[in-house]
Amino acid sequence: MNIKKLNINYIIGFTTVSSVIIVFLTIQTFAGKGFIDLTPTNIQILLVINLCLLVSFLSFVFYKFFNLYLINKSQNIIGKKTRTKFLFYFISLAGIPSIIIAIFSLIIFNFSIEKWFDKKINEAVTNSVEIAKKYLNEHQGSISKDILLIANDFNRNKDKLIDNKKDFENYISAQAKIRSISNVYIVSEIGDFLLSFPDFDVTAFSRPDSYILSAAKSGKPVIISSAYTNKTYGMVKLSNFENTYLYVVQNVDPQIVNYIQKTGEVSSYYFQIKNNILNLQVTFMIVYIIITLLLIFLASIVSINLSAYVTKPLISLFDASNEIKKGNYNIKLQETNLDSDFLELNSIFNQMVDKIKDDQKRISLSGRFEAWNIIAKKLAHEIKNPLTPIQLSLDSIRDKFKNQINTNRDQFDQHILLINQQIKEISSLLNSFSDFARMPDPIFEKINIIAVIENSINPYKSNYQNINFVLENGITDPAIKCDRNQIYRLFTNMIKNSVESIMEKNNDLKSGLISIKTNEDDLFFYFELIDNGVGFPVKNINNSIEPYFTTKTNGSGLGLSIVSKIIHEHEGNIKFSNNETSGACINFSISKKL
């Protein structure tokens, strides 16, 4: 594994994830919904971070494309132009719309920014703030007037109230109703509760804040509104009472307080953004560029993988075609882990290669068989011509000298016998040559293949009772189209070879086995012959169908060649192999299209 490439991929992945997070935080901050406050300092920090990410992404995009360019330039890959075109189309399909959307988004954003801060909106925000302030001032002014009037009434009636607590409480209740004030209290200089409405629950009283008490000591009324409690607090010193203060709490409509609070927040947010409009535009532009580059970068990665996924089967097809052009018909395309269309394409290609391979093999075999026929005819002719005079001359010599030779007569007879044996072997070989050369063209007709096989087995079955002959039929209809004589000759020849192989391995034949199995599919009838003889020599197993090749002492080397020729003329195939334990295995087929 390339460590440098792995590190680069880790860096790219880390930067991509970081970019997504930073872009999300930036957008959330601008929208005012993030946990980062929208302040000038934060905007500048985000601007710097996004600039760094922008430079990083530009570098990675450049690196990826440059690396791809170097790979295509350095490697002479068939189909790389197609892959490059696919890659260009995929990236264009993702990149061009992203760039167009980014450009229009930036234009619309800048136009919207200008509209946000035009004169009318600025005046509307300012006026809203002023209205809120005026309302608040008016409300506090009203409370201030009411608290002064109540204080004056208390001061004027000090003598009547100070000694009669119940009257004082009723008077407080009456003042609250007249002035429409929610709560009126008399408190000490440290905020302790002294008096309020009749039957008032002291536990419900809340001590005023210290800064209100402190401000009220000047003698002027103090009015403070709180948006958190939706109340307005007022306090003034009662001048005719000793260290006594009037403390009022007026409830404010929560909806109005909320409007005022939101008006202030919106105003602050508005002017905060207005003061940072340039940084906002630049940062937003960078964020959009980063998002666009991120999309293009991701599209590039997806496009590279997708183009590789799409073009890989095509490149494999180009490579395989190039191998076939060179004469290599053993090439095979992958037929798994692909889309159905590519699987079908590869399957068709493999079938075509197999057909071409079979056709080439048939053409080659036809040529070889024709050449072997010519050689066999010529050998039979050239050897047979002098063989007859030799036999006649030998017979004449034997007849003339058999009565004249008295000494070493046994030696004479032995030489004559040896010459006769050699002439018979040569005659037998000539007969094999003649049989191979004179094989007629096949006559195809419907025959019972099982009956033919049994007829081939029966003579050997009766003569070699210690050999177990097994026939397993897997053909539904045994009536197949073939040449009866040639197929009979084929099975007879193979069974004969198997018997001789078993005899060579085990002379007593006690454990001999010859098994013949038949089967079929839509195109061929299949046959398998297995024995437990000596098998084929491993180093010469591919030469088994060559004429004149034999491993037997007295073999002509034409038996399996004749078998191969018969299979060839029946448009089938034949394969020679050895069993895992011992013995030979011959698999051959006959076409159903004869």
Q: What is the pLDDT, as a whole number, of residue 445?
A: 93
Beta-strand ranges (E) seen in 477-561 are 479-482, 512-520, 524-531
How far is Cα 39 from Cα 32, in angstroms, rounded to an integer?
A: 11
Q: What pLDDT, on the 0 to 100 scale, is given for residue 477?
A: 93
| Residue range 135-267, CATH number | 3.30.450.20
CA–CA dist 183, 186 (Å, integer) = 10
Nearest to 516 by CA among 468, 576, 479: 468
DSSP structure string for 216-245: HTTSS-EEEEETTTTEEEEEEE-TTSTTEE
**What does the pLDDT read at residue 277?**
66
Q: Where are the domains of the chain?
A: 3-116+276-319, 135-267, 330-437, 439-591
What does the pLDDT read at residue 1? 44
**pTM for this structure?**
0.45
pLDDT given at position 449: 94
Cα–Cα distances (Å) from 104 to 19, 109, 289, in that order, read 22, 8, 12
> How far, in whole angstroms, is CA 271 from its chain's centroid?
52
The amino acid at residue 230 is N
Asked whether 304 and 86 are in contact (CB, 8 A), the reply is: no
The DSSP secondary-structure symbol of 523 reads S
pLDDT by position in tens, the chain (length 594): 444 555 666 777 777 777 777 777 776 776 666 667 766 677 677 777 777 777 776 777 677 667 766 766 655 555 566 667 777 777 777 677 777 877 777 777 677 666 666 666 666 666 666 776 777 777 777 888 888 888 888 888 887 787 788 888 888 888 888 887 888 888 888 888 888 888 777 778 888 888 888 888 888 888 887 767 778 888 988 888 888 888 888 877 666 666 666 766 666 666 666 666 666 667 677 777 777 777 777 676 667 667 667 777 777 777 778 878 777 777 777 666 667 777 777 788 888 888 887 777 777 767 766 766 666 666 666 666 677 777 777 778 777 777 777 777 777 777 778 787 777 777 766 666 666 656 677 889 999 999 999 999 999 988 888 889 999 999 999 999 999 989 998 999 899 989 988 888 876 556 789 999 999 999 899 999 999 888 887 765 654 455 444 545 454 455 677 888 889 889 888 888 888 877 899 999 999 988
For 408, list phi and psi in degrees, rounded to 5: 55, 40
Q: Are 154 and 163 in contact (CB under 8 A)?
A: no
Q: What is the DSSP letter of 584?
A: E
Task: Spell out the residues 6+ positions from residue 545 whose beta carbon is closer than 8 angstroms to its own.
Answer: 560, 561, 563, 564, 574, 576
CA–CA distances in Å: residue 260 to residues 126, 230, 257? 13, 11, 5
As a whole number of angstroms, the distance between CA 346 and CA 323 comes to 15
Any residues with CB less than 8 A from the CB of 242 and at least 6 apart, and which? none
pLDDT value for 71 = 63
State the pLDDT at residue 473: 94
- Report the 10 Å Cβ neighbour count for 379: 17
Is residue 103 within 8 Å of 228, Cβ to Cβ? no
Its sign, for the CA torsion 580, 581, 586, 587, is negative
SS3 call for 118: coil
d(CA 530, CA 337): 37
Orientation of helix 277-325 relative to helix 254-275, angle to 10°: 70
Q: How far is CA 6 from CA 9, 12, 64, in A?
A: 5, 10, 13
| Pick from 135, 114, 15: nearest CA to 63 | 15
CB 377 within 8 A of CB 430: no
Q: Does domain 439-591 have CATH number 3.10.105.10?
A: no
Helix (H, G, I), strand (E, B) or coil at 331: coil
Closest among 376, 377, 372, 362 to 569, alpha carbons compared: 362
- List helix spans (H) across 31-79: 40-74
Positive or negative, the CA dihedral 542, 547, 549, 554 is: positive
Look over the chain and give the mean of its residue pLDDT values, rounded to a whole number.
76
pLDDT value of position 553: 47
Q: Are 347 and 335 in contact (CB under 8 A)?
A: yes
Give residue 548's pLDDT. Answer: 46
Q: How far apart are CA 540 and CA 38, in angstroms?
A: 87
pLDDT at 11: 75
In angstroms, rounded to a whole number, what is the distance separating the alpha carbons of residues 293 and 20? Answer: 11
Q: What is the pLDDT of residue 521?
A: 92
The predicted-structure confidence for 225-258, as pLDDT tens digits, reads as follows 776 777 888 898 888 888 888 888 887 766 666 6
